[in-house]
Amino acid sequence: MPSAAPTGRYDFVVVANRLPVDASVDDDGNVSWTRSPGGLVTAMAPVMAAADGAWVGWGGAPDQEVEPFEVDGTELVPVMLTAEDLEKFYEGFSNDTLWPLYHDVISPPTFHRTWWEAYQRVNRRFAQAAADQAAEGATVWVHDYQLQLVPKMLRELRPDVRIGYFHHIPWPPLELFLQLPWRKQVVEGLLGADLVGFQRAGDASNFVRAVRRLTELTTRGQVITLSKNGRTERHVRAAAFPISIDSGTFDELARTPEVQKRAKEIRHELGDPDVLLLGVDRLDYTKGIRHRIKAYGELLHDGRLSTISTTLVQVASPSRENVDAYAQLRDDVEQLVGRINGDYGQVGHAPVQYLHQSFPMEEMAALYLAADVMLVTALRDGMNLVAKEYVAARSDDQGALVLSEFTGAADELTGAVLVNPHDIDGMKDAITYAVHMDPRESRKRMRRLRRRVLGHDVNAWSQEFLAVLTAVPRRDTHV
């Protein structure tokens, strides 16, 4: 066993693809930082506030070497990525190989050896940065598919630390995962962790099946045993820890007079429709936006929804615009929206309000409050926090949620109207049912949804994961 490398000073280290802040550079070359709005940042904020911790991640701009700096009591440790790293590691292997492969091959994944080499190189850089920051016996929490090799690399550098890894996206069935040329290396990378967390129990089971197929290791339920020279070295647990949102804060925001007033203004600006449908997604082919808009267009054509008094607001925030599949998706969606508005629009009324932009939290809360029916129809999604945000915003116990059964949220949100987004006729029936739902049933469903979302928030998620991780015995690395 190698002796532990020189240690840093932080007892808790988060390793993620991005820092919780975004870098911006002015005309004079000066760098400034603003807090990122992402879900992981929100999830980890209370954990980091309570810990003497460091966060290792990329700062958001290429070819930028920045010394570690402190924000709100957390040491932020930028990892430098070159423009080539971004092209091959991030846009290439992470988002054009792993992302489509892990989302049921909705779009064909691309396999390039140079991308894999870049993925290894960048993961090694992240692992080294984490090793440099972690104190003796520290807890290190690695996040998501961009960094699947970090646990093993970090363990080789620092066998004294506890390592947790959380996989935010789906883990695919074995038959799909086996397409990856570097499948064994990825599995071995994750087995460097003590605890590997997933959104759904099915994802954890898929991972364990991959371990059984690709290694000689012993598995028993969720536990994988690693041995060396016939002697048990350690155990790795794979389990589900469904992520959530800061639901209390969202609930409070939606109760403010300003947000409630804005919700009424939104409906008025849309012409006070009888029915307001809402979709909120990153513009991603996994989100089922085309299927949703197609179903809506057919409902208008069939006369099951009024072309005059129904509006669909589709928020599609920009995403990965340098990847060809995403540029094609934007063209497809905008063509579909234009066709529906051309066929069914009236002077002063467009059946689809399409917004290719992002909005602040306050505006999103108002949109959720304004909507009669929320449409979350992803073809495959690790969790989908938009569904939970909608529920958290509905303190009036009104509204209905149409939710894809292929989201992690479907396991928890049992008051939703579940739908198979590939079944256009079934989706049309589900939307119609939600629109015409009896108010008493709607309130009953929403109360059930809110009990779950408010009772299991992001703090509960992080505490549950860390409680299991920190229960792992410390290892004597000097034997």
String of DSSP letters for 140-165: EEEESGGGTTHHHHHHHH-TTSEEEE
pLDDT of the residue at 37? 60
Vertex 353, ends 255 and 365: CA angle to 5°? 15
Domain range 247-455, CATH class: alpha beta
**Between 3.40.50.2000, 3.40.640.10, 3.50.50.60, 3.30.465.10, what CATH number should domain 10-243+460-470 receive?**
3.40.50.2000
Which residue among the candidates 85, 132, 281, 381 is catalytic per the annotation?
381
- Residue 478 falls in the annotated catalytic set: no
All CATH 3.40.50.2000 domain ranges in the chain, comma separated: 10-243+460-470, 247-455
H/E segment holding residue 108: none
Tokens coding 129:
């940065």
Q: How many CB atoms lie within 10 A of CB 217?
A: 16
pLDDT digits (tens, 9 = 90+) for 105-136: 999 999 999 999 999 999 999 999 999 999 99
**431-434 long-range contacts, CB within 8 A, separation 24+:** 431/277, 431/295, 431/296, 431/299, 431/305, 431/373, 431/375, 431/402, 432/299, 432/304, 432/305, 434/373, 434/400, 434/401, 434/402
Alpha-carbon distance 133 to 322, whole Å? 33
Q: State how far the Cα of 366 lies from the Cα of 165, in Å rounded to an integer.
A: 35
| pLDDT value, residue 70 | 87
- pLDDT tens for the 479 residues of the chain, in order: 344 456 778 999 999 999 988 766 667 767 677 777 666 776 777 778 777 799 999 988 898 888 998 887 889 999 999 999 999 999 999 999 999 999 999 999 999 999 999 999 999 999 999 999 999 999 999 999 999 999 999 999 999 999 999 999 999 999 999 999 999 999 999 999 999 999 999 999 999 999 999 999 999 999 999 988 778 889 999 999 999 999 999 999 999 999 999 999 999 999 999 999 999 999 999 999 999 999 999 999 999 999 999 999 999 998 877 777 788 899 999 999 999 999 999 998 999 999 999 999 999 999 999 999 999 999 999 999 999 999 999 999 999 999 999 999 999 999 999 999 999 999 999 999 999 999 999 999 999 999 999 999 988 999 999 999 998 876 655 43
Verdict on whether the full-model pTM lies above 0.95: no
User: Do residues 94 and 320 touch, judged by C-beta distance below 8 A?
Assistant: no
Tokens of 149: 């090799």
> Which entry of 103, 167, 168, 291 is annotated as an active-site residue?
168
Largest Cα span, the chain: 79
**What is the distance between the alpha carbons of residues 9 and 16, in angstroms, rounded to a whole number?**
19
List the end-to-end C-alpha distance of the chain, in Å, as a whole number. Answer: 7
Residue 382: closest CA among 347, 407, 362 = 407
Enclosing H/E stretch for 444: helix 439-455
Burial label for 261, CB within 10 Å (0-12, 13-18, 19+), is exposed
How far is 342 from 340, CA to CA, in rounded Å?
A: 5
Helical (H) or strand (E) element with 196:
strand 195-198
Q: Is 194 a catalytic residue?
A: no
Q: If you write DSSP's letter for every residue of 367-404 in order, what string do you get?
A: HHHH-SEEEE--SSBS--HHHHHHHHH-TTS--EEEEE
Contact between residue 127 and residue 154 where contact means Cβ atoms under 8 Å apart: yes
Q: Which residues contact 183 (CB under 8 A, 6 or more apart)?
A: 177, 210, 214
CA gap 192, 460 in Å, rounded: 25
Residue 107 structure tokens: 């779009």
Please say whether the beta carbons of 241 and 198 come within 8 A: yes
Q: Which amino acid is at 95?
A: N
